[in-house]
């Protein structure tokens, strides 16, 4: 467990400001500090929280907010499937708790460590994997809750003239740029962004986010198929 904590501590440098924004943004857009804390406690998913809160603040329905959040969180489906072979023998309640605290950082440090250990020693068991995972995951969880509360307190003190809500697109840009690592990703990001902007200009509101997501996924998949076909020898 101590090793799990130590593995994610360096990552808190990037998580802390994100948590502050997650707490401050809903509190300053009319949703209130209670909504910020509730989203952090129940949802515990940074980018999805911001997307849902932003949609609700602009008057979108709860259904649109939920769909937007779930679309962004689809990557967690891949994360959990990747972790499953290492924890398949754990109790159901343990795996459900793992799912609740699953984050990008907890997944990254766990899958890296477990893959290395599994390659070196097939006897590595749950008695070592679970404490490592929960040490990392709950360190992030606790940090996120504290930062959310601080963000709520700071956000209420920020003058209305300061456009704090602009931090939301900035956060998403920070998440987007490192993910563009291939030609297919460039196509997906470009098509998805253009489609979302066009949908918003046509009055789709936050449904434009969903339109952009679907368009980006389709364009990225097509681009990847074309690139693979061109690079595969006949």
pLDDT band, very low/low/confident/very high, at 121 (cuts 50, 70, 90): low
Taking residues 130-155, report their average pLDDT: 91
pLDDT band, very low/low/confident/very high, at 73 (cuts 50, 70, 90): confident
Q: Is the pLDDT of residue 146 over 90?
A: yes
| Mean residue pLDDT across the chain | 82
User: What's the pLDDT at 145?
Assistant: 93
User: What's the pLDDT at 206?
Assistant: 59
Nearest of 102, 161, 90 to residue 133 by alpha carbon: 102
User: What's the pLDDT at 196?
Assistant: 85
Q: Is the pLDDT of residue 120 over 60?
A: no
Nearest of 216, 208, 219 to residue 68 by alpha carbon: 208
Q: What is the DSSP string of 78-134?
A: HHHHHHHHHHTTS-HHHHHHHHHT--HHHHHHHHHHHHHHHHH-TT--HHHHHHHHH
| Stretch among 3-17, 133-147, 169-183 having the lowest mean pLDDT | 169-183
Taking residues 190-212, report their average pLDDT: 81
How far apart CA 72 and CA 49 sit, in angstroms, is: 10
User: What's the pLDDT at 141?
Assistant: 95
User: What's the pLDDT at 101?
Assistant: 94
User: What's the pLDDT at 1?
Assistant: 93
Q: What is the DSSP letter of 202?
A: T
Taking residues 82-93, report their average pLDDT: 90
b/e map 48-79, b = 16+ CB within 10 Å: bbbbbbbbbbeebeeebbebbbbbbbeebeeb
| Stretch among 34-38, 83-87, 192-196, 208-212 having the lowest mean pLDDT | 208-212
pLDDT band, very low/low/confident/very high, at 177 (cuts 50, 70, 90): confident
Taking residues 201-222, report their average pLDDT: 81
Taking residues 164-175, report their average pLDDT: 61
């Amino acid at each position: 467990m101590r090793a799990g904590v130590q593995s994610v501590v360096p990552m808190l440098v990037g998580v802390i400001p994100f948590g502050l924004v997650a707490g401050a943004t809903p509190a300053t857009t009319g949703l209130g500090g209670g909504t910020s804390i509730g989203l952090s406690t129940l949802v515990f998913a940074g980018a999805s929280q911001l997307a849902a809160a932003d949609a609700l603040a602009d008057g979108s329905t709860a259904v649109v907010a939920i769909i937007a959040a779930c679309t962004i969180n689809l990557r967690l489906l891949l994360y959990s499937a990747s972790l499953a072979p290492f924890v398949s023998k754990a109790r159901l309640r343990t795996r459900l708790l793992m799912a609740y605290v699953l984050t990008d950082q907890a997944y990254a440090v766990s899958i890296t460590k477990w893959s290395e250990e599994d390659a070196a020693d097939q006897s590595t068991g749950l008695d070592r994997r679970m404490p490592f995972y929960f040490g990392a995951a709950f360190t992030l969880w606790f940090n996120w809750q504290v930062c959310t509360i601080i963000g709520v307190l700071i956000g209420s003190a920020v003058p209305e003239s300061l456009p704090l809500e602009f931090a939301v697109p900035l956060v998403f840009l920070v998440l987007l740029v490192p993910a563009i690592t291939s030609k297919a990703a460039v196509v997906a990001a470009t098509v998805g962004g253009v489609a979302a902007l066009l949908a918003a200009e046509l009055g789709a509101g936050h449904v434009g986010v969903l339109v952009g997501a679907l368009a980006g996924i389709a364009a990225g998949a097509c681009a990847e198929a074309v690139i693979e076909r061109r690079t595969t020898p006949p």
